[in-house]
Amino acid sequence: MIEISTDKSRIDVALVHDFLCNHSYWAKGIPRDVLERAIAHSVTFAAYDDGHFVAFARVITDHAVFAYLADVFVVPSHRGRGISKQLMEAIRSHPQLQCLRRWSLVTSDAHDLYRQFGFRELASPEKHMEDVVLNPYGAETSC
């Protein structure tokens, strides 16, 4: 039985940090203090299988009009079990995240998952802009 929780005190920050820092393509090298600050200022979701931490996601939001979905992952041993869908269902139905005008995310490999929850490619990409720091943590940063 998978349990989804928003209780930040239960998050296995060491596991999240290890995964993001060493195994993700989007947050490689992230310093732990940066991750801790990101968690503190986000709505977090963690999945537990029989009490064991198995998945994570966070939503950056103003709780009024906008949300950005970030850092979604399922530990390798639990992939293929529908946990990412359960996590997304919990996120999209969370009471604090209803009636938002715009949701956003960036993904290189999970388009099919997110399409199931209403996400689409940008309708007007010419209207969107970004400022991306390609190596924000630098070579001197260590996990």
pLDDT digits (tens, 9 = 90+) for 37-95: 999 999 999 999 999 999 999 999 999 999 999 999 999 999 999 999 999 999 999 99
The amino acid occupying position 71 is D
Q: Under a CB-based contact definition with an 8 Å cutoff, are residues 36 and 88 in contact?
A: no
Instruction: State which H helix or E strand residue 59 sits in.
Output: strand 52-61
List the domains of the chain with CATH numbers.
2-127 (3.40.630.30)
**Total length of the chain:** 143
Q: What is the pLDDT of residue 143?
A: 60
